[in-house]
A and B are shown apart, each in its own frame.
Chain A
Amino acid sequence: MGLLKRSFLYLFRKWKISILLLLILFMVVTLTLSGIAVLNAEEQKTEEFKEATGTSFSIERNYGSGEMETDEKGNTYLKSDAITEDMIKEIGSIEGISGYNATVESIACVLKDGKYIPHSKDDLVGWDEVDSHTMSITNINSKYSNYFISNIFELVEGEHITEDTENSIIVSDAYAKKNNLKIGDTLTVVNDPQNDDPFVDVKIIGIFRVITDAVDDSDGKKIYDLAAYFEYNDYVFLSNDLANKLYVNYDDAGNGVFDVVDFYVSNPENLDSIIQEVKSIKDINWKNFNIYADDEVYQNTEESVDNSSTLIISLIVIAIIVSISIINIIVFMSIKERRREIGILLSIGKSKAIIMFQFIIEMMIIAGIAFTGSYFFSKLIAGNLGKAFGKVAESVIIQNEQVMMVSVIGISILLAIVILSCIPIMKRKPRIILTKM
């Protein structure tokens, strides 16, 4: 009688032990595979979230230091250092910073073919230049503008403004539709035509869409709120060079200086260390600037992600430990009970290795069935299990590499259990094994 036949006869005739082992393995592997799938979905969601929100820190001009000064035209401005483009470039080149943006928010009138054009909702009747004011924001990198980062706007056509972009404008789809605008069209912008401000030609390089009406909380902190007067659809984004070209009559806006710059960090975990690095730059007088981290949103999600991941990992670990212990006891007891069989097989000339191999084959048959069953069953239930942890069912996927990993580790553990359970008997001489029966 062959080894394989003996293995099958054992599994069938001692079906209670076989079924018990099968069920335990099936449960723990299913739980592990589904749990890992949920963890993956969790991680993926966090990654996406991190990418979407980004984590940033801001450098702000310290309005509390330095004195105010009034120039001959009667404009009042702060004497202390402002944030310069060189300073932004220096900080922006630190490793781990994915991007930055600085803005100057103002208002600008927009003309097409020499005529002032209306807002997205306004009528053309009785139109004049004052009604043609838009909320204009100059950007170094419009991709990192709060409006795009916070998913208030979404670029639907064309491209974003970058450091190298010049004389460019991004408008909303509603604004474009109202005024028959398309990418590549030329417009003219002017800050205040009644103040002898220059007219500058700009080219439309992108069109955005308003995707949420979410109100930006930070607006509340501003001295006055331009944004309150404008519909989102009447916002325009201008390339950074235009600040110098448009606001020539105003000393502190333009001229390549900024009040606030936002820096985006690719890995939120590095935020603190990067801020420390920025603070250690010697040629910046930190008395004149405030630096603060803006990772509240990240911290909150990180915490909730950590909580549910910890729960899932604990469940998996407990299930694995408990089931390994139970399987270990069952296997150890059943092999101990097979002492007589081991003795008899030894007496008819089977080697110890062959006898152990039979036990291993039996375990592998059970494991094979249990793991295959678990694989298909977890595919069925992982989605629903994910729902219990607030995941979208479709995002919870059993990945083949992970099935492989769980199988390899699981089978190694089972092998170890069988071999270790055999050792107390196998290390003895056949006569001792037989006489102790």
Chain B
Amino acid sequence: MSILEVKDLEYAYSRDSIVFKNINVNLEEGKMYAILGHSGCGKTTFLSLLGGLDTPTKGEILFNGENIENYGLARHRKNNVSFIFQSYNLIDYLTPAENVSIASKLPPKPILEKVGLKDEEIKRNVLKLSGGQQQRVAIARALASEAPVLLADEPTGNLDEENANSIINILKDCSHKMNKCVVIVTHSKDLAKQADVIFRLWKGKLQIEN
């Protein structure tokens, strides 16, 4: 059964600059989705709407059948979704472990180890971690969340191929083993191929790619 239903979604900055419109899609638990598209086509905007960081110009998004605006956007962000952003994901005065703990009561250390951080790195000031290490802390925070939907905006942008693959595998486990609905925005076709369903955002439309 679909956990997120997107109905007739439209987003415009102004009358003349419509980013996308008439998007209808159902997203299910236990599946990993990839969204491809050229730069500036509206991928981040779409993900933000799914996560309740912004409100659509038209249409609605349902979570388990309930309109997320009625449910409360802050509440939706707290209980239903977790995010991994394109960049700058961390609070700078907190350690990696504390950054993971802000959204979850689970012990942060095993999760940070799972994404490949060493013992010493876990206690370091986050600003003294490399871009890739910072990104893995952000992924750990999303993994620590119990929210059933995980939205990731180019989570592997800063990572080398080896690390990128391991992260993708973790996210795949997240959907298949932990039964989450994982949505990844990426530029990489290779990574997209790991997903169960691939979408392409093209000229304001969301199409399934084979």
Residues of B near A298 (CB, < 8 A) are none
Also in contact, A347 and B88, with CB within 8 A (given A9-B98, A13-B93): no
Q: Is B53 an interface residue (CB 8 A)?
A: yes
Residues of B near A437 (CB, < 8 A) are 87-88
Residues of B near A431 (CB, < 8 A) are 44-45, 48, 53-54
Establish whether residues A430 and B78, one from each chain, have CB atoms under 8 Å apart when the complex forms: no
Give complex CA distance A264, B141 in Å.
81
Residues of A near B102 (CB, < 8 A) are 1, 6, 344-345, 348
Specify which of B76, B94, B145 lies most central, judged by the most chain A CB atoms within 10 Å of its CB.
B94
Establish whether residues A349 and B75, one from each chain, have CB atoms under 8 Å apart when the complex forms: yes
Give complex CA distance A9, B82 in Å.
24
Establish whether residues A347 and B90, one from each chain, have CB atoms under 8 Å apart when the complex forms: no
Q: Is B89 an interface residue (CB 8 A)?
A: yes
Q: In the assembled complex, how far is the CB of residue A5 from the closest CB belonging to chain B, in whole angstroms?
A: 9
Q: Is B106 an interface residue (CB 8 A)?
A: no
Residues of A near B89 (CB, < 8 A) are 344
Establish whether residues A1 and B88, one from each chain, have CB atoms under 8 Å apart when the complex forms: no
Q: Is A434 an interface residue (CB 8 A)?
A: yes
Q: Is B74 an interface residue (CB 8 A)?
A: yes
Partner of A349, one of B48, B54, B74, B94: B74
Residues of A near B76 (CB, < 8 A) are 349
Partner of B94, one of A9, A348, A432: A9
Establish whether residues B74 and A350, one from each chain, have CB atoms under 8 Å apart when the complex forms: yes
Q: Which residue of B lies closest to A433 (CB)?
A: B53
Give complex CA distance A10, B80 in Å.
28
Q: What secondary structure prevails in chain A residues at the interface with B?
A: helix
Establish whether residues B93 and A348, one from each chain, have CB atoms under 8 Å apart when the complex forms: no
Give complex CA distance A349, B141 in Å.
13
Residues of A near B82 (CB, < 8 A) are 348
Q: Is A346 an interface residue (CB 8 A)?
A: yes
Quick one: CB contact mask for A136-152 with B, threshold 8 Å, 1 for yes?
Answer: 00000000000000000
Establish whether residues B53 and A344, one from each chain, have CB atoms under 8 Å apart when the complex forms: no
Binding site for A on B (CB under 8 A): 44-45, 48, 51, 53-55, 74-79, 82-83, 85, 87-94, 98, 101-103, 141, 145
Give complex CA distance A1, B107 in Å.
11
Also in contact, A1 and B75, with CB within 8 A (given A347-B51, A430-B54): no
Establish whether residues B93 and A10, one from each chain, have CB atoms under 8 Å apart when the complex forms: yes
Give complex CA distance A431, B87 in Å.
13
Give complex CA distance A344, B83 in Å.
9
Partner of B44, one of A344, A350, A435: A435
Give 21 A-B contacts (CB < 8 Å), ordered by A residue. Answer: A6-B94, A6-B102, A9-B98, A340-B88, A340-B92, A344-B90, A344-B102, A345-B102, A346-B74, A346-B77, A347-B53, A348-B82, A349-B74, A350-B74, A350-B78, A429-B53, A430-B48, A431-B45, A431-B54, A432-B54, A435-B44
Partner of B83, one of A1, A6, A347, A432: A347
Establish whether residues A340 and B91, one from each chain, have CB atoms under 8 Å apart when the complex forms: yes
Establish whether residues B93 and A434, one from each chain, have CB atoms under 8 Å apart when the complex forms: no
Establish whether residues B77 and A434, one from each chain, have CB atoms under 8 Å apart when the complex forms: no
Quick one: CB contact mask for A350-374 with B, threshold 8 Å, 1 for yes?
Answer: 1100000000000000000000000
Also in contact, A344 and B54, with CB within 8 A (given A349-B78, A435-B44): no
Also in contact, A348 and B98, with CB within 8 A (given A429-B53, A434-B85): no
Residues of B near A345 (CB, < 8 A) are 91, 102
Q: Which residue of A lies closest to B80 (CB)?
A: A349
Give complex CA distance A437, B89 in Å.
10
Give complex CA distance A300, B82 in Å.
75
Binding site for B on A (CB under 8 A): 1, 6, 9-10, 13-14, 340-341, 344-351, 429-432, 434-435, 437
Q: In the assembled complex, how far is the CB of residue A333 from the closest CB belonging to chain B, in whole angstroms?
A: 15
Q: Which residue of A lies closest to B99 (CB)?
A: A344
Q: Which residue of B lies closest to A342 (CB)?
A: B91
Q: Which residue of A lies closest to B83 (CB)?
A: A347
Give complex CA distance A341, B126 in Å.
13
Give complex CA distance A100, B128 in Å.
84
Residues of A near B54 (CB, < 8 A) are 429-432
Residues of A near B87 (CB, < 8 A) are 437
Establish whether residues B91 and A344, one from each chain, have CB atoms under 8 Å apart when the complex forms: yes
Give complex CA distance A346, B75 in Å.
10
Q: In the assembled complex, how far is the CB of residue A32 from the closest CB belonging to chain B, in whole angstroms?
A: 31
Closest 7 A-B residue pairs measured CB to CB? A349-B78, A13-B93, A349-B77, A431-B54, A431-B48, A431-B53, A348-B103
Establish whether residues A1 and B98, one from each chain, have CB atoms under 8 Å apart when the complex forms: yes
Q: In the assembled complex, how far is the CB of residue A350 from the closest CB belonging to chain B, in whole angstroms?
A: 7
Establish whether residues A434 and B53, one from each chain, have CB atoms under 8 Å apart when the complex forms: yes
Partner of B77, one of A6, A341, A348: A348
Residues of B near A1 (CB, < 8 A) are 98, 101-102
Q: In the assembled complex, how far is the CB of residue A297 from the closest CB belonging to chain B, in whole angstroms?
A: 63
Q: In the assembled complex, how far is the CB of residue A436 from the closest CB belonging to chain B, in whole angstroms?
A: 10
Partner of A9, one of B74, B93, B145: B93
Give complex CA distance A348, B78 in Å.
5
Additional A-B contacts beyond A340-B90, A429-B53, A431-B53 (13; CB < 8 A):
A1-B101, A340-B91, A344-B90, A346-B74, A347-B51, A348-B82, A349-B76, A349-B78, A429-B55, A431-B45, A432-B54, A434-B53, A434-B85
Residues of B near A347 (CB, < 8 A) are 51, 53, 77, 83, 85
Give complex CA distance A345, B75 in Å.
12
Q: Which residue of A lies closest to B76 (CB)?
A: A349
Q: Which residue of B lies closest to A344 (CB)?
A: B91
Q: In the assembled complex, how far is the CB of residue B20 from the closest CB belonging to chain A, in whole angstroms?
A: 15
Give complex CA distance A1, B77 in Å.
17
Q: In the assembled complex, how far is the CB of residue A336 from the closest CB belonging to chain B, in whole angstroms?
A: 14
Q: Which residue of B lies closest to A351 (CB)?
A: B74
